[in-house]
Amino acid sequence: MQQIIGTIKNKAGFIIDMDGVIYHGNKLLPGVNEFVSWMENSGKKFLFLTNSSERTPRELHEKLKRLGIEVGEDHFYTSALATAGFLASQKPDGSAYIIGDAGLIHALYSSGYTTNNVNPDYVVVGDTHSYSFDKIELAVNLVLKGARLIGTNPDVSGPVEKGITPSTKALIAPIEIASGKKAYFVGKPNPLMMRIALKKLGTSREDTIVIGDRMDTDVRCGLESEIDTLLVLSGITSKDEIDKFPYRPKYVLNGVVDLV
């Protein structure tokens, strides 16, 4: 155990999922404060990488600050930013019909995109509370007219204090079914997210670790990018659920609390 912890702490780069690793809803998880301070004081490179596309890095920074942790905005990377970067590389200065919240809208504008509900290049769907029949109907018809369908992240649901909340894959499903077109998803486990994260950290694959609480996104994404993975049991996955998957994380700990 001590040896495993030593190996993990010797890594230069840390790619860290947020929900289930850092906090649960609005509750900070044990040891997180000490873990973040340790990374800062030890000169580690770290990036909080979330599949959630609702919030901007600034809003995530504010959320952590409210929970008592202050790290710069550039330590956050979301599936909304990854989606905007991906679209800007596929079709620079394009247009999109967006069903999503501030995190996604802001990211797309910042990457040179404009909104368009007549003949957009893309229909982009992300995590949102503003979702309606009219929006689905318009999106379906835009896709049928040739707009490409993009989802920020393939999560079906996410944890909230009252239970779970439908996430992007569930929100985009009616558009896929009615249009007969399948969406392309950018967030984890798409290895694109890990490649971008590594580039931002400037560390090598071998010298980096992915810390997450989900087997199907965090662990799979690290695995497919050949980065060591640490599954923490402080989120959605329990110890006996690991065996239900055809792949394994490299390390398993109770939470980041074990690292401090």
CA dihedral 10, 16, 22, 25 (to 10 degrees): -170
Please state, in angstroms and rounded to a whole number, the distance separating the CA atoms of residues 101 and 123: 14
- CA 231, 38, 193, 74 torsion-angle sign: positive
Instruction: Read off the tokens for 70.
Output: 């202050």
Instruction: Identify the active-site residue in 19, 121, 127, 228.
Output: 19
19 is a site residue for Mg ion (CB under 5 A): yes
Is 218 a catalytic site residue?
A: no
**Least Å distance between CB 216 and Mg ion?**
11
Q: Considering only residues 195-224, where is the footprint of Mg ion by CB under 5 A?
A: 213
Nearer to Mg ion, 54 or 213 (CB): 213
Using Cβ positions, the residue closest to Mg ion within the complex turns out to be 20
121 is a site residue for Mg ion (CB under 5 A): no
20 is a site residue for Mg ion (CB under 5 A): yes
Please state, in angstroms and rounded to a whole number, the distance separating the CA atoms of residues 198 and 244: 29
Q: How far is CA 13 from the centre of its chain?
A: 17
Size of the site for Mg ion (CB under 5 A): 4
Nearer to Mg ion, 17 or 101 (CB): 17
Nearer to Mg ion, 176 or 224 (CB): 224
Quick one: which segment of 15-23, 52-60, 174-182, 221-229 binds Mg ion (CB under 5 A)?
Answer: 15-23
Strand ranges (E), 59-182: 76-78, 95-99, 114-115, 122-125, 148-151, 157-160, 163-166
End-to-end Cα distance, the chain? 13
Nearer to Mg ion, 2 or 162 (CB): 162
As annotated, the active-site residues are 17, 19
Residues that bind Mg ion (CB under 5 A): 17, 19-20, 213
